[in-house]
Chains A and B, each alone.
Chain A
Amino acid sequence: MTYEIQVDGKNYRLELNRVDGRWESRLDGRDISLDAVLARRDVLSIIIGGKAYEIKRERTATDLHVWVGPRRYDVQLRDPRSLRGRARADDGKGLRKLIAPMPGKVVRVLLKEQSQVEAGQGVVVVEAMKMQNEIKSPKNGVVRKIVASEGAAVNAGDVLAVVE
């Protein structure tokens, strides 16, 4: 199995095979001595060249994170056999979705559809745990669609608006 993996923006090509219960692994063409046990869902014990790590995986509605010790890595995984794991459009071009980072209630919609918006400008205000949070546009452009309506409850990962 070959994976293309992006970690914090850096690309890796990982080949993984299990032969008679042993792992064979190559990272960008280099042989890696690897052993791995899935301790439980989302918790992995791996030993790389004698160094032991307990790795946690975290999947939110929008992101995949892998934690090594206290540090979180943003991961995008591409399994070449499928289109799964395609990178979302984060290149500043095209449509960008504003996504609720946490469950809450939409208390205000600050802009109308088709209005101009600047990067960092608030579009929707979501309240959770008695705090109001502005969900800001990731880019300069035009608000193409406002999905959120004032007073509505939203879940983490819900699309609130779309900016082009």
Chain B
Amino acid sequence: MFKKILIANRGEIAVRVLRACREMGIGSVAVYSDVDRAALHVRKADEAYPLGPAAASQSYLNIDKIIGVAKRAGADGIHPGYGFLSENAGFAQACADAGIKFIGPTAAAMERMGSKTRARQNMEKAGVPFVPGTSRGVPSAAEAATVAERIGYPVMLKAAAGGGGKGMRLVQKAGELQAALDSARSEAERAFGDGEVYIEKAIIHPRHIEMQVLADEHGNTVHLGERECSIQRRHQKVLEEAPSPLVDAEMRRRMGEVAVRVARAASYTNAGTIEFLVDQNKNFYFLEMNTRLQVEHPVTELTTGLDLVHLQIRIAAGEKLPLAQDDVKLRGHAIECRIYAEDPDHSFFPSPGKITLLLAPSGPGIRHDSGMYEGWTVPMDYDPLLAKLIGYGTDRLQATARLERALSEYFVGGIKTNLSLFRRIFPDPGFVAGHLDTGFLDRLLAQPYESGSAVDRNREVAAIAAGVFAMLDPSSGGASTDAASRDGMATEPASNWKRTARQEALS
């Protein structure tokens, strides 16, 4: 077993992994950039070392610095979390070269699954179902047109090196193909330095459902059931759940079999996720493999009763999987809400800044994996994920009810968050019925929204409360006094600005 693990990450996932280390009696080493000195993961770690400037390329993406810290601290394992270096085969190799165990798959397995077209060639050999299309980039517009005719419009163009929706184009008819191909290629070239684009049949109203797999280093591979991740905004997942409202036991068995076959074909070890595109007739197609722990792993933990980070660490330490496929029993329903620092009322603009008030929910069936705390300033330099609120219940209805209850207790002040978005999602009839697809959220957001009845009555309550606040806590003052002293205007003597301010005060 490991003595000391370095966590090459930040935010809630770094805290998540630190906690697993603490639970297993393993020392933990945090790393942090200049703007993260006060971050929660640094506070909670046994040891912490600076990486340098905020820019990820000079901190959390800097392989040499991280390996240097690991050696200096005497870490014998590195957990990469998700994002940053987690799917970087070069980093996995650098760990191996330094004699430090990378807690994840081998560099070779990552490379096999890293490029979508290369992964596809490997997987087709293993008999994995794919969306009809090309397994390689299309060299010419003429060939693209031939392929598109064969598989039938609409088709989707995708960047081979892609991710996050970059270099993706939906083509409805033949006349649009040339222009779409050109723009997808140039976007892929700019985003990934690789303009390779392939063609697939477009699945209309697709669902995004993924299977969690675990593989030890002794040839044992199991799947832990699926997660439904169809609720997305701009290809960013917002809410995930397990099990999927669509998947029955038979479909789960078939998807699980394919997922295990994919992992075996790649000689995959540790935790991984096979993503599938699923059409409305329950046909599923391999999309890609994520060679890391997923953000949404807690919903699988709650429905299987397993701790995926513990298991990742045990597998990396050379232990055998403690369970066979038949031992995996799914129970209940879990849903995760990703809490982002962004403003749902203003096009989801990012909203970094100081958290002036934090009231976190608790109670039955609620798990809160968070990287924030009251008084902490959310830096502007990284991903806006603040925390994950996970609800568990006997069934989907109870899990949802618990989350809605938890949302009523949850408050983050000082910055904007997307908490209100979930209050919209849960009562939606489509959500309640489990009729999900990747366009669900865009359609929901396009509807006009008026939050609530009893508005006038609560307006009076707000007025009374504002007065009581002022009386009980007068030192805190009103907002406009704060603004006047902070915006610098009031301190410029005899300026026009100050004169205007005075005029405003008198008007």
Chain A residues packing against B (C-beta within 8 Å): 1, 3, 5, 7-8, 10, 12, 14, 16, 18, 25, 27, 32, 34, 36, 38, 41-44, 46, 48, 53, 55-64, 66-71, 73, 75-77, 79, 83-89, 94-95, 97, 99, 101-105, 127-131, 133, 156-159, 162
Q: Does B447 contact A (CB under 8 A)?
A: no
Judge if B433 is at the interface, Cβ distance under 8 Å: no
Return B64 CB to nearest CB of chain A, in Å: 24
- Are A129's CB and B380's CB within 8 A? yes
A42 near B356 with CB under 8 A, answer yes
Q: Say whether B488 contacts A158, CB under 8 Å.
A: yes
- In whole angstroms, how far apart are the Cα atoms of A102 and B463 in the complex? 27
Known: A44-B465, A67-B411, A70-B451. A1 touches B479 (CB 8 A): no
B414 within 8 A of A: yes
Beta-carbon contact of B504 and A7 below 8 Å:
no
Query: Are A44 and B469 in contact (CB-based, < 8 A)?
Result: yes
A59-B356, A77-B466 given as contacts; is B455 within 8 A of A128 (CB)? no
Q: Looking at the assembled complex, report how far the CB atom of A103 sits from the nearest CB atom of chain B, in whole angstroms.
A: 5
Contact between chains at B341 and A85 (CB < 8 Å): no
3 closest A-B pairs by beta carbon, nearest first, are A64-B479, A129-B350, A73-B462
Partner of A7, one of B352, B411, B462, B476: B462
Residues in chain B near residue A105, CB distance under 8 A: 380
Total cross-chain contacts (CB, 8 A): 203
Stretch binding the partner chain, chosen from B15-23, B314-322, B381-389: B381-389
Q: Name A's interface SS.
A: strand
Docked complex Cα distance between A7 and B455 (Å): 11
B356 CB contact (under 8 Å) in A8, A44, A58, A71? A58
- Known contacts A129-B352, A159-B489; decide if A68 and B483 are in contact (CB<8 Å): no
Q: Which residue of A lies closest to B468 (CB)?
A: A36
* Interface check B267, CB cutoff 8 A: no
Indicate the member of B415, B479, B480 with the most A CB atoms within 10 Å: B479
The CA-CA distance from A5 to B469 in the complex, in Å, is: 12
Are B350 and A12 within 8 A (Cβ)?
no
Task: Assess whether B352 is in contact with A103, with CB atoms less than 8 Å apart.
Answer: yes
Cα A46 to Cα B455 with chains together (Å): 18
Q: Flag whether B96 is at the interface (Cβ < 8 A).
A: no
- The one of B349, B463, B466 that contacts A101, using a Cβ cutoff of 8 Å: B349
Q: Is there contact, CB below 8 Å, between A44 and B353? A: no
**Which parts of B336-380 form the interface with A (CB within 8 Å)?**
341-342, 346, 349-353, 356-357, 359, 377, 380
Q: Which residues of B contact A71 (CB under 8 A)?
A: 451-452, 455, 458
Interface hits, B432-480 → A, CB 8 Å: 451-452, 455, 458-473, 476-480
A68 with B465: in contact, given A41-B473, A102-B380 (CB under 8 Å)? Answer: yes
**B97 close to A (CB within 8 Å):** no
Closest to A58 in B: B413
Given A14-B463, A95-B497, 6 extra CB contacts under 8 A: A42-B413, A42-B476, A56-B357, A57-B357, A70-B408, A87-B504
Nearest neighbor of B475 in chain A, beta-carbon distance: A41
